[in-house]
Chain A
Amino acid sequence: MIEFHNVTKRFESGYEALSNVSLQLDAGQMTFLTGHSGAGKSTLLKIIALIEKPTRGQALLNRVNLRTVPRRRIPYIRRNIGIIFQDHQLLFDRPVFDNVALPLQIQGYRPQEIAKRTRAALDKVGLLNKEKSMPITLSGGEQQRVGIARAVVHKPTLLLADEPTGNLDPILSREIMQIFVDFNRVGVTVMVASHDLPLIEELDMPRMTLNRGRLILNDLAEIEPESRDGLH
């Protein structure tokens, strides 16, 4: 599903966030993306979500070249991705239900269908009783779960999460991560960027590790990256 061939991202400031990264994530696989802050995790996710474009190399999503995809096609590609942010990016001017329903409205679903699917997504994250609440009245963990419900409500085939547990306590973090694992079990491809190493080890999922823009560990690679230097 995701293929990176020697992808380099250099920002205008000259800062190189990713250097020659090659990786592959097949449909139905799940991986954690780890590394220190500034290692390039967010940049990698942003390239997949078409927020950033690679400077060099080839980044493919379902065989679509993410560097050359025309602007007008970007919305349709994003509709197959569910994105979860550390700061959950909820809209605070409308209730939980409307937040979660947004992707369906954008894609032009019928109101009855929207209601059905939105409630199903809220049920999945355990927030069905909060549909009329305003996001500001929810706790941090609840807000993050609303963000997850919004990311999965339109049944995307790929789920990207950038530090989804960054602001949460260990118990809540485990709950959130478990939701991702559950989605992966039903066939969704999942990539979660996180530096919560103890939790990741506990979950026993494949890992990819970035260090200063280089991929130094890839549990999903048949041949380990040459640049790995004895970590594991």
Chain B
Amino acid sequence: MRANVRRQRPAAVNRVSAWLLHHLQSMIFSLGKIYQAPATTIMTVSVIGITLSLPGGFYLFLKNIDAISGDFRSTTQISLFLKLDVSEKQARALEKKIADMPDVESTRFISREDALDEFRRDSGFGKSIDTLSSNPLPHTILVEPGEVDTFTARNLQNRLQAMPGVKIAKLDTEWLERLYTIIEIARRSVTIITILFSFAVLLIIGNTIRLDIQNRYQEIVVAKLIGATDAFIRRPFLYGGVWYGFLGGMISWLIVELGYLAIAGPLERLNLLYQSQMSLITFSLHDFLILISSSTLLGLAGSWIAVARHLSRIEPT
């Protein structure tokens, strides 16, 4: 018999190419099975797609918020209100000094006269202001630190505060910090949602493959009887899971893209209202690849669990 085995070997090209061939066959075979049962497949794949579209959509939402808040970050500014006894000449000298400091990107000087004019024009209290005997507004210097983190901005604020002639250095970041905290909460929520929904996808695919194994019980028994290895029998099911994951990922991508198309109009308007230069961000190629590959991996993992649990129990009797 051993001699016989050796005699048969050359027919199989060699171990590696036979293995590759069967992988290819399993891949196509499992795709064929999916194609043969379109209703079941569409349902399963849609459930996976809808499940994954939630974390996908949240991720994209977060990405947009991030981009917009990054926009805000670059507009962080410190308002320096000078003491009333500082002359315009002194104030302009101070502005020049500040503009030369590191961490400072630009400065703008608003004289107390300009400030009053502006106030008279914009506030609608023009007449009441005219009754004032003297101008109550100080000279103001607006300092833009450029793109720096909160810590650097605070540091700069403290240094400016300590300068002679400065009454108040006001860094308006509290609302920004609040926003960042909210974004951080959202980010963690998205992580939790992603983990939970990935687990759901794992269960969906695992269950689908389990049913698939049950439906093909007879085939598995026959294959085992004629000498199929466990790996050989496992392969088509694993590829089945891979296909489910891949197609589910594609559907979730489609859902998210369509969803964003639906809300793009109002979002664009909101952007205009906030005078933001940002345009709506959708999935980048990188995001797309991550989405598809992780859903495909989830498919593989789900089917692996099902196969490990159920396939070895099937033995011919």
Q: Which residues of A contact B (CB under 8 A)?
A: 1, 49, 51, 62, 72, 75-80, 83, 89, 91, 93, 102-103, 105-110, 113, 150, 154-155, 157
Contact = CB atoms under 8 A, between A and B. Distances in A.
B21 A78 contact: no
A105 B229 CA distance: 12
Contacts, number: 77
A109 B11 CA distance: 6
Interface in B1-37: 1-2, 4-5, 8, 11-13, 15, 18-19, 21-22, 25
A78 B12 CA distance: 17
Nearest to A27: B1
Q: Please list the 3 inter-chain residue pairs (A to B) with the smallest Cβ-Cβ separation, ordered nearest first.
A: A108-B18, A79-B227, A78-B227
B224 A109 contact: no
B40 to A, nearest CB: 15
Given A113-B11, A154-B8, A155-B8, A106 B227 contact: yes
Given A51-B317, A105-B25, A108-B21, A75 B228 contact: yes
A80 B1 contact: yes
Interface of B: 1-2, 4-5, 8, 11-13, 15, 18-19, 21-22, 25, 218-219, 221-230, 232, 315-317
5 contacts: A1-B1, A51-B317, A89-B225, A106-B228, A106-B232
Given A49-B225, A103-B226, A80 B218 contact: no
B222 A106 contact: no
A107 B317 contact: no
B19 A108 contact: yes
Nearest to B22: A108
A109 B232 contact: no
Contacts of A103: 226-227
A93 B317 CA distance: 22
Contacts of A79: 5, 226-227
A102 B5 contact: no
B13 A110 contact: yes
Contacts of A109: 11-12, 18
Contact of B226 (A83, A108, A155): A83
A110 B20 CA distance: 11
Contacts of B13: 108, 110
